[in-house]
Structure 1
Amino acid sequence: MIPYGTFTFFLIALIVLLPVIILGLMGKRSYIYNGLSTVIMVVIIFSSHKHNLFGISYISTQLVSFIIYIIWQICIIMTYWKSKARRNSFAKFVVVIILSILPLVLVKIIQSSWLGHYQVILHESKVVSFIGFLGISYVTFKSVQLLMEIRDGSIKEVKFWKLIQFISFFPTISSGPIDRYKRFVKDDKKVPTGGEYNDLLIKAVHYIMMGFLYKYIIAYLIQKFAIAPLTLELTTFTGKWLYMYAYSMYLFFDFAGYSLFAIAFSYLYGVKTPENFNQPFKAKNIKDFWNRWHMTLSFWFRDCIYMRSLFYMSKKRMFKSQLLMSNIAFFINFFIMGVWHGLEVHYIAYGLYHGLMFIGYGYYERWKKQHPPKWQNKFTQALSIVITFHFVTFGFLIFSGKLF
């Protein structure tokens, strides 16, 4: 059952979480029931929809895959955590990172259209469904981030059950937002008072209502009355231009609606999962946009790819120019982001497009420091928002695969 995909899911989830809500309003928390409710919801999410009792009468290959994957990641993280105190080896760190992302890499390769005829054979042999499961990317991001923070020494303690709880946290399991281990554990350890939980509950209800508005009303209307008709008009310039706007709006409202659901159900557990969107189409430049759009993913790539690539090049003194190293790090960052979406050409082109925009804007910032604008006002700010919006929406047109 797809998370937040049907009203049945919401009904089941709210029934399962009812004891959590009642205890929360009393200023209490049962870690045993929290764990039990998570198990119930994970089984429902990964079980087959073709069977009775809400689909939980059948142990699907996705559920088996998820369980094996959790065991795999737990073994990697706990082994690295226990061995790090003895020797902080870079080679060991590289090995555990490769092992952690290996299942995701296999899924991306198998799902790639580059495999052509062999892709059909692999799908028919159930390889994809056995290796992969819904949300494998976001669970992998959590694991990789945790391994990096262990290496940095910013995480002082990793507990077995907290680790399982963090990785398998059902509200964000399929598409984020991507939380950080330290922040998650901090919220989990602090039991809110009845009054504090009441405030969280009010916010959760508000987010659920907003999520329904975004995903099931606005996004649905855009899909039905804009995207579907315009799909037939993509042979004309005007059709593609209008499709670019419609598709961009649909992406935002659909994904932002989902994120609001995930945050709301996190709040019901007393966990303040970070926001994912902050009025992204009000961005004044491309850097501002990525500080507003899918923020948890953007910050993950910034911290785990860009910053570490830049640090490695600086440490090895690979180039004399710090600007050149920063530009290469941006290029690597967005190329990997494109590949993560998929190995199809339009996804990779989307990543490279944003990498080039970041690099170009960096040069513009340097030029602007040397040539300060003579006047700035609300009109110039509005103009910068309009220009950024069109660059961003053109990127989404590339992402859609409908540009050519």
Structure 2
Amino acid sequence: MMNWLQELPNWQPYGDPQYFIYLLVALIPVVVALLFGKRIKWYEGLVSLAFIVLMFAGSHWQQFIALIGYIIWQAVMVFGYAKYRQKADNKWVFYGAVFLDVLPLAIVKITPAVTMGQNSLLGFLGISYLMFRSVGMLMEMRDGVLKEFTFGQFLRFMLFMPTLSSGPIDRFRRFTEDYETVPDRDKYLGMIEKAVHYLFLGFFYKFILAYIFGTLLLPGLEHEALVAGGLINWPTIGIMYAYGFDLFFDFAGYSLFAVAISYLMGIETPMNFDKPFMAKNLKDFWNRWHMSLSFWFRDFIFMRLVMVFMRHKVFKNRNVTSGVVYVLNMTIMGFWHGVTWYYISYGIFHGLALVINDWWLRYKRRHKKQIPHNKFTEGFAIFLTFNIVMVSFLLFSGFLDQLWFHNH
């Protein structure tokens, strides 16, 4: 099997226009069937399996083995806890299940930090997104809103091909309801229309704008900045904006592709971005940027930590509670990106910035008569938020680590 995998071509999801040709041709029977109100489950599964195998074929064959092992591990965690939850509800058993669920990803994230850059053999493309899906299922089982599901439904949700590598992060109940309910003809025609629009917009984002900022501009600016040296310089300011735009257009392009292919398969996968650079404050930004991730952290970490802190009266003041949890929530998000000082600092930066943002919004509500509100102030708020976000992206990029500590 290993030799067979290594001999297959490696097709990275949404990596080049040729990939889309093969994928769209393979999906023609799916589209035709949905137009007639039918879902060919066996064929969808076959196409998904084929493209997942090709995603991890060739030189990435070890990742395919890691994927199989990971799915088995997650199945044991999810179905083991589901069986337990039918009989009892001990919080420590729940915490243990979540810990064991997250453990493989934690090992993957920590390994490069302790082995001088070597990646863990447990890692594979998309592992983070699978972890969010399975932990979400554990959370909903604990809440009592997810009680019954089959192994087939679990596999279909975990290995949904369009979103496997880059999200967006879906929820089990929403996804399963979509899959089991075939859209009527008029609704599906509207989904096809949106899918075509998202594909063209994704191509513009990923293959034109991200190419301009990430391939044409960024390398030259990085070279100039390293030559200039120091704590900060003008080329580094250029990197801040070039990297920020490259990050957005590249990731938003991938997300649009995933949503478009999902729509063609009759699944209304949630959008991931909503004009984030038009946000009027940081809270608004996180309601627009990588929305499936920020909403996941909001629902499954932020709100739960707030409830725990309030229940145990850790802080008397509700605003202090939310402020502390903002910092904890975003710091965890920073660790999720990777165990490096710049990822963790990025999380802390946004946590503290959200505390300040929350204070300002409360202050504005108390003094709304004294504080002017017009197009100019709105424009300034958008401009300020945009630049604060760009500073955080410069931190996130890791370039400052190279400039400050490895520029020899």
Q: Shorter-chain-normalised TM-score: which range?
A: over 0.9
Q: Is the 8 A contact 2:192 2:264 kept in 1?
A: yes
Query: How far has the Cα of 1:49 moved from its partner?
Result: 5.3
**Alpha-carbon offset, residue 19 of structure 1:** 1.3
CA distance in 1, matches of 2:93, 2:215: 51
TM superposition shift of 1:18: 1.9
Matched, 1:85 2:82: no
- Could you report, residue by residue, the CA deviation over 1:131-155 in whole angstroms, capped at 9, with x for unpaired residues? 1110000110011111001101122
**Cα pair 2:192 2:263 within 8 Å, conserved:** yes
Tell me the distance in 2 between the aligned counterparts of 1:368 and 1:214: 36
Please list, as runs of the form range in 1=range in 2, the aligned pairs for 1:3-402 lying within 5 A after superposition: 3-48=13-58, 60-112=61-113, 114-116=114-116, 119-120=117-118, 123=119, 128=120, 130-234=121-225, 235=229, 237-372=233-368, 373-402=370-399
How many residue pairs match? The answer is 385
- 3-state DSSP of counterpart to 1:131: coil
Shift of 1:355: 0.4
- Give the whole-Å Cα distance in 2 for the aligned partners of 1:289 and 1:227: 24
AA of the residue aligned to 1:169: F
Moved more, 345-354 or 302-311: 302-311
CA contact (8 A) 1:338 1:348 kept: yes
Q: Note the alpha carbon deviations across 1:293-314, whole angstroms, 9 max, x for none.
A: 0000000111111111111111
Instruction: Please report how far the alpha carbon of residue 45 of structure 1 lies from its aligned counterpart in structure 2 after TM superposition.
Output: 1.0
**Could you tell me whether the CA contact under 8 Å between 1:88 and 1:151 is conserved in 2?**
yes
Q: Percent identity?
A: 43
Deviation of 1:371 after TM superposition, in Å, equals: 2.3
Contact kept? 2:51, 2:161, Cα under 8 Å: yes
Residue type of the alignment partner of 1:159: T
Deviations 1:267-323 (A, max 9, x none): 111000000000000000000000000000000111111111111111222222222
Structure 2 vs 1, CA of residues 21 and 348 (structure 1 numbering), >3 Å: closer, same or farther? Answer: same
Aligned-pair CA distance for 1:365: 2.0
* Offset at residue 368 of structure 1 (A): 2.1
Structure 2: distance between partners of 1:4 and 1:201 = 18
Residues of 1 paired with 2:284 and 2:371: CA distance?
Answer: 22
Q: Quick check: 1:28–1:193 contact (8 Å CA) kept in 2?
A: no
Report the Cα distance in structure 1 between the residues aligned to 2:207 and 2:68, rounded to whole angstroms.
Answer: 31
Where does structure 1 differ by over 3 angstroms across 4 or more consecutive aligned residues? none
Q: How much is the aligned-residue C-alpha RMSD, in angstroms?
A: 1.5
Q: Is the 8 A contact 2:56 2:63 kept in 1?
A: yes
Going from structure 1 to structure 2, the CA distance change for 1:161 and 1:352 (only over 3 Å counts) comes to: same
Larger mean CA deviation between 258-267 and 365-374 belongs to 365-374
AA aligned to 2:302 is: Y
Report Cα offsets for 1:47-77 as digits up to 9, x if no partner: 1158xxxxxxxxx111111111111111211
Deviations 1:72-131 (A, max 9, x none): 11121111112212001101101110111111001001122x532xx44xx5xxxx2x31
TM-score normalised by the chain length of structure 1? 0.92
Q: TM-score w.r.t. structure 2 length?
A: 0.91
- Gaps (5+ residues) in structure 1? 51-59
Q: Is the 8 A contact 2:195 2:264 kept in 1?
A: yes
